Structure 1
Amino acid sequence: MAEFKQLLKIPEIVQALNKINIDIIDEDITKPTPERVFYIYECMVNYTLGIRYSDLTQPNFEIERKLEYPELLKDSLPLVSFYGLISKILKNVGIENFSFADLVYPEPNQLRRNLSAFVQFIYFEQKHTATIYEFKNKTDEYDNILNEKQARIEELKQRIEQVKLEREKDEVEAQKIKEINNKLTNQNRELKSNHDVTANNIAKLKSQKETLEEKI
């Protein structure tokens, strides 16, 4: 809950509320009427919560089912709900003593106090909203940089994976070539061995032939 700080001058209140599209003049505060005060509070609820009084007049069957005499009370439900909303808003800006009489029998000093608290809330909101937007813009900028870095990292990861796959493919091909080479080497050894055996046999046969020729 915010803390009520000071009573603002009426022209300042009027100017601040006009800036947020609440059509108000000095006399609405110095000589308040229930109709004008109701309008001001309705605009405050709409500004803060995005709710119009007309939204509260829609049937709420869930609440009506809980009422003992809904036909007697349902017409007053929108007003009760509206009072609850404005009470909550004013409590959050530091006004604890808002009552139903402030709607029906508005009093200038109390109205000025209520509106002063609300205007100071507007000042606070606008000041910090600007700061929030500034930080948000900075955050968005950092997010963009991080996203670019992350995209670059993902790109490098994909490239590394591609190189790895190509290397594995090359290793498979190299292994196949190695196996073929080993097979050819073994075949060559077998052929050489067979050649040596054949050469020895030929040499023996030649020797035997020469021996026979000498005997003849």
Structure 2
Amino acid sequence: MQKETVLLHGWGMNRQVWQLIEEELKSEVSCLVKSIDLPGFGHGAMPEAPYSLATAAQLVAEQLADNTTLVGWSLGGLFALHLAKYYPQKVNKVVLIASTPYFAEAEGWAGIKVEVLKNFKAQLKENSAKTIERFLAIQAMGSEHAKADVKQLKAWLLNAPEANPDALSTGLDILLNDDYRDIFSSLTQPVYGLFGKLDSLVPRRAITKMSALNSNFQVEILPKASHAPFISHRAESLNFLKSVL
């Protein structure tokens, strides 16, 4: 049976963000490649239980074949780590793209300032569309194609239903509170990472700390990319993915 690679998107987005890279990967790797919507995003169904990383990840697990390779971008990376830990038969490899086991800044850990995430949550209640747009702009900061990147991301967003408000709000809580550093350090599956040196959401120091937590973590950092390297630097990202899938 042919092995599968499943692409998991980030907060506020949907599976449409993968459409270009997904098509190219399908033609260049031997495994099956597909993307799915995280619960509450795009066409993804909401959990019946209160939304959390665990309840949402359970719905994702039900869509995975055994021995799947997970490619998780940003928030999708936390889903990939959770699935690798709690559904090990489903996951044979994890590839993180601009993702970290703990997104919030903390003592001894570089990340997003807590106030920034809390402000996003407060603004989400006022105007979710504008908040997502601001988040997209932050994701592209530093990229030499920032305006084009944001325009592309916004266009893909519009190709699917709006995200569920509870999924958006709880998604920010997950980014703020869920700490998967211990899980990341003890995973038995191979873990790879692709990052942008100019990423303001996943600082370079966090990548260094991740390498210290897991000695088997294999990393590539694109010097001119930001938080969405597979969009701004598609060729380099494809080469990396082809080398690890």
TM range (shorter): under 0.3
More helix by share: 1
Structure in which a larger fraction of residues adopt strand: 2
TM-score using structure 2 length:
0.24
TM-score (normalised: structure 1): 0.27
